[in-house]
Structure 1
Amino acid sequence: MVRLLNVYTISSFISLAGLLYGFDIASISGIVTTKQYIEYYGNPVGIRQGGIISAVAAGSLAGALSSSFLGDRLSRKVSTQLGAVLWCIGASLQSASTSIAMLVIGRIFAGFCIGITSVLVPIYQSEIAPRKIRGRIVTLQHFALAWGIVIMYFIQYGCSFLDSQAVFRLPWAIQAVPGIFLFMGLFWLPLSPRWLASKNRWDEVLQVLAFLRTPDCDSNDPLVLAEYKEIEEQAREHGEEWNTYREVFGKKLRKRLFIAMAVQGWSQLGGVGVLLYGVILPLKSAGVSNARLAASICYIIFVVATIPTILWTDHWGRRSSLLVGALSAALWSFMIGGLFMRFGEPNPVPDQQYTWIIVDKPIASRCIQASVYLLSATFAMSWGPIEWMYPPEIIPLHVRCTAVSLSTSTNWVIILALLLAVLPLWLRIHWGVFFMFGFLNLGAFIYVWLAVPETKQRTLEEMDEIFEHGEQLWRSFTGAGARYSNRLDLLAKDFEQGKISIHPRRPRRNNDIERTANSSTSQTLFDGTSG
């Protein structure tokens, strides 16, 4: 009999935070082109429109930066609850807004929630997941985001047939519903075992690991004890230096921090994240009939394309997915830009949200539509989910919150800049925007090839050895780094054979550790004061 609360159901539920982000993308994407929105807010275009859309990114940046302190002090779970409260406040302000200023404030509140949860939910999922399915577990966050886009887009699509302000007020109000469910349901979820370890609550660490790893909560299971031991060893190694900026920017960790920031940054520089906010605009520019319905198909493809990543990302690996994704995204970006350049012409109608159009060229229009779909699918299968799973994987526990908040802040800085810049650029350089994104995707491919190591099938505690074994990072899974992929299994075997044992009590972070000589994997015997 499958237990109701397990790693899959826990991770799926907390992924409602991703649903919130998807709701925001789809609601603003569909609403900005409605007649009621344009008339009520005075036809915002260019910088004004970019400011409204990017307000969420500004709030997300603030939320991501604050998540370091909140996630460490309040826990990943409680901080996510706080984010859900802020989300409901933001949804209320947006739905009741009477001016652009009030709308922007509401979107900043919503963004603050997205910033907090975009850091802490992947961390929480990474810290509760077994190493062999960690990619699958963290990808559920992206899957929920994709579903949020689809659900809200069809809500907004249905509301678009109304002849009142409910066209935009009703979708923004509905956004509060999953926020309420997320806040209430989190009371029943366990705390992260790694966060408990950071607070020296070692009895609870063992209890939560047993709950997450075994159907009968067996705290004597060898794999549970082996994982407990790895967590303790890393905690003891770093002493009292927890989540400090001195450690994050120190010589030992700054390379990992930069890689985490770069993966998040290149993901957004590829342009697909911004495209999702306004996919209807290039479709309308291309002369696609019923662009609103065509945009909904794009979002459905985005959901479907995420499913193979959930099932096989732990087999494909992170590195190969990023490489193939970057090359494919570059191809589709160049295709869209080239078709617009060859078959497009200036828009003769002034004061429109697009100044370059394709008229009476159905084959070119369909090719652009297909390329947009393929670009969306490529992102959903590669950079979209991996940008969230990769930073928590490579950052050690004692600085995880701080470092991941910095890497995710990079994500939001770039989104903010792009949302402010892309709409004005779309009005001025038209198809050149897609060529720009194509070359940026090529840059992402080169960076991943030279600098990004593989992390699949390894525990979070093994990352230190991956980054410190001395070989080039890009050979990490085929070279010496592969030696460490079965370390946890060897440690579990030692427990099973009775070569080592632990006392589930709080170990001191000094040298009062008994050592045994009969362990082939590790010689530490825990013995500390109760806590």
Structure 2
Amino acid sequence: MGAGAVTTAGGSGNEAFAHLMDPNRKWYNNRRLIALHGWIVLLLITSSINGFDGSILNSFQSLQVWNDYFGTPAGGRLGLLNAIQNIGSLAGYPFAPYLSDGLGRRPTIWIGSAIMLVAVVLQSAAQNWGMFIGARFLIGFGLTFAVNSAPLLVTEIAYPKYRASLTSLYNALWYSGNIIATWSTFGTQHINNNWAWRIPSILQGIVPVLQFLLMFFAPESPRWLISKGKDEQALQTLAYYHADGNDQDPLVQFEFQEIKSAIDFDREISANVGWKSLIATPGNRRRIIIIVAIAFFSQWSGNGLVSYYLKVVLESIGITSATIQILISGILAIWNLFWAVAASFCVERFGRRPLFLTSAFGMLLAFVFQTVCTARYNIAPTGASAHAVIAFIFIFYAFYDLAFTPLIVSYTVEILPYSLRAKGFNVFNFTVSVALIFNQYVNPIALSHIGWKYYIVYCCWLAAECTFLWFMIVETKNLSLEETAALFDGEGASTNLHNATREVRHEDFDEKASDSAYTGNNDLKA
């Protein structure tokens, strides 16, 4: 959180808020912040489950024993296998935001982990096609609850200085699951029985086990607590993790009052925060248009070809060895993690808009060259053309990871006000699943019928993405969760929230700030 609409004389809200943070309080030299970041890691690795599950079938397709056991799925049957997890996610979406807003962030994650544990057992012990498909449906169903709440809890409990980077890290860690899935399968590929795929399936249960055992020891969202009238508990949570337990700390008081004022203001202007609220105002409509668009773009930028059908893509350029296919996939996963994590720590330095635009235009160029090189290989097969295709796949993903890995989740949750955050993020996840299901069904069929010419469709789509992002993405650099209201809802919303928080007197903050060690470092950004 940062300095919402409240301002002090002589500076913006951000400057005032930065003034209240202790410049000596770093995450690595404060045991409370170390503990907080430990809990945040437990939340961030929810994305690892998603990455593991999204990658495991790509590796299984290269295992002969898996293909023998399940009859070498292809075409629509292969599409169903890849899509069934997202179909399971769709089944969970109607319930996820109500659990997240009703029961709380922590219980919702715990419920999702419990469901996924059951699914992992079923998948690891699968005896037939139906049992395997059912397990994957259940994984998607449980994952919906976890991924709906985990990033919300990260952004709502993070220390203000680190919020943007930590929330961006959430989706970046998708690739950590990708790495485990790919390299575990690379290690088991020489096992000449079904343990070659059962062992990686078992590893998928590591994160759900940790969350199942530890989740209720983690802090609950102060915003959720305040929304349920548990103000004292929210204040103590903020104080414990953000100010060494001092509930009179000016930073804690500032955060507490701004959250409380923003939530009270939301209640006053919108007694009904149901689904219609997502499109009830011009500001909310713009939010939803952006959210739906970047959700589609995250799956429809050509990345789905490599993420789910790398085997088919590599075979189209003459690479048929299962070992080489899995090796390329494993190296690509490490490459992606590097770029995604690096980008996560640059979101406040460079801003969201420059990263989105650089990512989109870079992907367009890389995919055009990948298409040209694939066409050349199909006309006159050469090793140089094949190697060029692989190189441009890596270049494409470097650009993709600048924005469409770290920012799609963090940008979505930060532009939504608290009252709509769970529902709006649920719309984002729903859209991703719909886009994935379409991709997973259509891609293998299109590749089998028109081959590399299908890449041209994505070249055109990427050009459309660049145009949309140029006109629609709003910069939110160095703004708090509450402060973005002025960007989407107009200055009137900012003024009204300012008036709602006037009870927090500026002189009180100035007095507390001068009496404490938290003075004068306006270079710190919320």
Could you say whether these structures have the same fold, taking a TM-score greater than 0.5 normalized by the shorter chain as the test? yes
| Residue of structure 2 equivalent to 1:335 | 369
Could you tell me which residue of structure 1 aligns to residue 327 of structure 2? 293
Question: Residues 484-521 of structure 1: CA distance to partner in whole angstroms, max 9, x if unpaired?
Answer: 9xxx9xx7964332499xxxxxxxxxxxxxxxxxxxxx
Which residue identity does 1:235 align to in structure 2? I
Preserved contact between residue 184 and residue 200 of structure 2 (Cα < 8 Å):
yes
The 5 Å alignment of 1:235-274 reads 235-239=263-267, 241=271, 243-252=273-282, 253-274=284-305
Report the residue type matching 1:264 in the other structure. Answer: A
Deviations 1:319-362 (A, max 9, x none): 111111111111111111111122216xxxxxxxxxxxx84x11
Q: Do the aligned partners of 1:11 and 1:140 also contact (CA within 8 Å) in 2?
A: no
Task: Tell me which of 440, 445, 465 is aligned to 1:424.
Answer: 445
1:136 to 152, 155, 165: 165
Structure 1: distance between partners of 2:443 and 2:118: 28
1:196 is aligned to 225
Is 1:393 matched with 2:414?
yes
Shift of 1:394: 0.8
Q: Matched residues, percent identical?
A: 23
Give the match for residue 430 of structure 2.
409
Following the alignment from structure 2 to structure 1, what is the Cα–Cα distance between the partners of residues 453 and 129? 30
Q: Does 1:228 align with 2:256?
A: yes
Structure 1 gaps, min length 5: 346-357, 472-480, 501-531
Name whichever of 5-14 and 181-190 sits farther off: 5-14
Distance 1:495 1:242, change over 3 A: farther
Structure 1 113/438 Cα, relative in aligned 2: closer, same or farther at 3 Å?
farther
Hey, what's the Cα distance between the residues in 1 that align with 2:506 and 2:331?
A: 50
CA contact (8 A) 1:225 1:492 kept: no
- In the TM superposition, residue 432 of structure 1 has moved relative to its aligned partner by 2.4
Q: Give 2:308's aligned residue.
A: 277
The answer (yes or no) to whether the contact 2:89–2:141 under 8 Å persists in 1 is yes
| Structure 2 contact 222–238 (Cα < 8 Å) conserved | yes
Alignment of 1:311-322 (within 5 A): 311-322=345-356
Who is 2:180 aligned against?
151
Distance 2:288 2:506 in 1: 33
Against the structure 1 CA distance between its residues 82 and 210, is the aligned structure 2 distance closer, same or farther, given a 3 Å change threshold?
same
Secondary structure of the 1:43 match is coil
Q: 1:290-319 deviations in whole A, cap 9, x for unaligned?
A: 222122111110111122112211211111
Q: Give the match's secondary structure for 1:448.
A: helix
Residues 1:454 and 2:475 aligned together: yes
Instruction: Determine helix, strand or coil for the equivalent of 1:217.
Output: coil
1:246 to partner: Cα distance: 2.9
Deviation at 1:191, TM superposition (A): 0.2
Displacement of 1:36 in angstroms is 1.1
Change (3 A) 1:280 1:243: farther
Number of equivalences: 472
Query: How far apart in 1 are the matches of 2:336 and 2:505?
Result: 40
Aligned letter for 2:477?
A: K
Q: 1:167: which partner in 2? A: 196
Alignment of 1:8-407 (within 5 A): 8-214=37-243, 216-239=244-267, 241=271, 243-252=273-282, 253-288=284-319, 290-344=324-378, 359=381, 361-407=382-428
Please identify, of 20-29 and 244-253, the stretch whose mean Cα deviation from structure 2 is larger.
Answer: 244-253
Cα offset, 1:199, TM superposition: 0.6
Tell whether the 8 Å contact from 1:323 to 1:445 is kept in structure 2 after alignment: yes
* Higher RCO structure, 1 or 2 (CA under 8 Å, sep 6+): 2
Q: Which residue type is aligned with residue 122 of structure 2?
A: L
Q: Corresponding residue for 1:497?
A: 510
Contact 2:105 2:220 in 1 (8 A): yes
Could you report, residue by residue, the CA deviation over 1:194-250 in whole angstroms, capped at 9, with x for unpaired residues? 111211111111111112322x12211112111111111111112273641232231
Amino acid of the structure 2 residue aligned with 1:194: R
Contact 2:296 2:432 in 1 (8 A): yes
Contact 1:280 1:295 in 2 (8 A): no
Structure 2 match to 1:433: 454
| Alpha-carbon distance in 2 for matches of 1:438, 1:121 | 34
Distance 1:101 1:131, change over 3 A: same
Check the 8 A contact 2:305/2:313 in 1, yes or no. Answer: no
Q: CA deviation digits over 1:361-397, x for unaligned, max 9?
A: 1111111111111122222221111111111111111
Using the alignment, how far apart are the partners of 1:339 and 1:54 within structure 2? 29
Structure 1 residues 65, 326: closer, same or farther in 2, change over 3 A? farther
Please identify, of 154-163 and 91-100, the stretch whose mean Cα deviation from structure 2 is larger.
91-100
| 8 Å CA contact retained: 2:279, 2:285 | yes
1:380-425 CA distance string (max 9 Å, x none): 2211111111111111111211121112211111011111111111
Change (3 A) 1:194 1:138: same
CA distance in 1 between counterparts of 2:30 and 2:160 reads 20
CA distance in 1 between counterparts of 2:98 and 2:304 reads 27
Unaligned runs of 5+ in 2: 1-28, 514-526
Q: Kindly report the root-mean-square deviation, in angstroms, between the aligned alpha carbons of the 2 structures.
A: 2.5
